[in-house]
Structure 1
Amino acid sequence: MRLAWLKLLLCCCLLGAVLAGAGELPEGKEQAGDILLVGVERKGHTGADARGLVWEVLRLVFEPAGFQVHTSTVPYTRAVGLVARGDADAWVGAYPEETTGALFPQWHYAAEVIGALGLASSPIPRLEDLGNFRLAWIRGYAFDKYLPQLHRYQEIQRYNGALAMLRVGHADYLIAARAELESVLAWAETPDAYRITDLTLLPLYPGFADTPRGRELAALYDRRMAELVRSGELRPIFARWQQPYPFD
């Protein structure tokens, strides 16, 4: 009788250990489930076809830990909202601590050139004197947190009409990642009438929901990024996409 009770007690202990570990994210190759990453479509970075540098890096982060990575490209403010509502696990392309109520890891996954698009006839802007000009950027990017002494700026909903805004003098420069500015400039009938000036380099992070799952995903992300940088596995990915390696 005592042996039967001991067996029952042992089974209960084992079951409790299994249940206690069920909510933890695995470090091995066990199937952990799906993860949805969202972000603005950028050719060569976050493609709508799930190809690009960023998607490839993040698949290497999460898939060896047992996750199936799914991606979706949406406007930036919608990406942030999807994570805030719990409809996505993380958005990409975030600058450090740009949004309250979200969780940002310690490791960035890339860095991007921030530039200014203006008329070719305008003065060449410098980072230190941007505050002297009227600026515009996409709503949600919050460049006033990262670029010095910005006083006159407006947030716009989309890039449609951005070139006309510059042309008629409603703003002096459009601020964005160089890749986005090049896409805007591609719409111009006379591209030579405009100029892109590189200003600075900003690290890029995923933004996770500040929830138990989000905290576990962020911790896993930091652990895996440290491993990948240490092993050098990320370097050939950046070389293949012809992007500068941001961890030297």
Structure 2
Amino acid sequence: MVALLWCASLVLLLAPLLRPVPAHGADIVEVLSTGQSWDLFTNPDGTGLYHEILNAVFALHAIPVRHEYATSDRAEELVRLGQADMMICDDMVSPPLVMARHPMYENAYHVFFSRGRIPDWQGPQSLLDRLVLSQPGYYVQENFPVPVRIKYVANGAQGLGMVLLGRADAYVDDMAFIRKSIAENTIPFDMLDYEIRQVGVRSYHPLFNTSPRGQAIMELYDEGMRTLHQNGGLKAIYEKWGHPYPDFDKY
């Protein structure tokens, strides 16, 4: 009987040590984000919408943020392996990663196409079985309400160029990237022969690991986004970079 009581007492004493102890903001001395380098979002010099949002969010806890540039696939792998804290950003998530509640970007996406290839636009259904070009990993079948044939190209300018040369039906992207691709294009064309039409709207969220550290950092991120939204600091960052302000109240 004494032995049983001793064992029970020992279990009670050790129980707190056997449970995973979540990390707290005070335990985190740096946050490592990862993702691609995008103009006006994650500029190589540390400026851009995403960089400034994260700096402001974690500055609320005096935590510096460091960024490692990587492709989207590699960035997700780094977070899965625990070698980075958060991937910025994506509109979809696959286990074991989880998505933060609040987005960093929310915007419509469009297709650029020739009137000759699609003469009578009837909405996204006009893309049924069409060959649609996308920057690597940016868009997948789930972003379209009808089946399409997606092909990844090196960048937006290449996608736009292939449409101009008649090698594809459409090029899909955010309007800012379509404009950038048009500006970088070297193939002469008349815009009257082409159209840009909206396909859908999506929001882009940071992705996190499900480890105690990952969950703690995600909580700090979501709390910080709410705080900055409420005090107006977040809107000022979006206005500075000329990006649309998400409807944070619906998240």
TM-score by length of 1: 0.77
Superposition pairs for residues 234-245 of structure 1, below 5 Å?
234-245=234-245
- Report the Cα distance in structure 2 between the residues aligned to 1:61 and 1:236, rounded to whole angstroms: 13
The structure 1 residue matched to 2:140, chosen from 134, 138, 143, is 143
Hey, what does 1:45 align to over in structure 2?
41
Q: Residues 79 and 195 from structure 1, CA distance in 2 versus in 1: closer, same or farther, beyond 3 angstroms?
A: farther
1:36 correspondence with 2:35: no
Contact 1:120–1:192, Cα closer than 8 Å, also in 2? no
State the secondary structure of the residue aligned to 2:74: helix
1:88 correspondence with 2:84: yes
- Report the Cα distance in structure 1 between the residues aligned to 2:144 and 2:169, rounded to whole angstroms: 16
- Report the Cα distance in structure 2 between the residues aligned to 1:173 and 1:210, rounded to whole angstroms: 38
TM-score by length of 2: 0.76
- Report the Cα distance in structure 2 between the residues aligned to 1:146 and 1:44, rounded to whole angstroms: 23
Contact 1:40–1:75, Cα closer than 8 Å, also in 2? yes
Superposition pairs for residues 164-203 of structure 1, below 5 Å?
164-189=161-186, 190=188, 192=190, 195-203=195-203
Hey, what does 1:229 align to over in structure 2?
229
Shift of 1:237: 1.5
Percent identity of paired positions between Structure 1 and Structure 2: 23
Shift of 1:145: 1.7
Root-mean-square deviation (CA), in Å? 3.0
Shift of 1:164: 4.4
1:214 correspondence with 2:214: yes
Q: Residues 160 and 237 from structure 1, CA distance in 2 versus in 1: closer, same or farther, beyond 3 angstroms?
A: closer
Shift of 1:51: 0.4
Hey, what does 1:104 align to over in structure 2?
99
What residue identity is the alignment partner of 1:204? Y
Q: Residues 25 and 165 from structure 1, CA distance in 2 versus in 1: closer, same or farther, beyond 3 angstroms?
A: same
Contact 1:61–1:224, Cα closer than 8 Å, also in 2? yes
Hey, what does 2:7 align to over in structure 1?
none
Q: Residues 119 and 72 from structure 1, CA distance in 2 versus in 1: closer, same or farther, beyond 3 angstroms?
A: farther
- Report the Cα distance in structure 2 between the residues aligned to 1:244 and 1:200, rounded to whole angstroms: 15
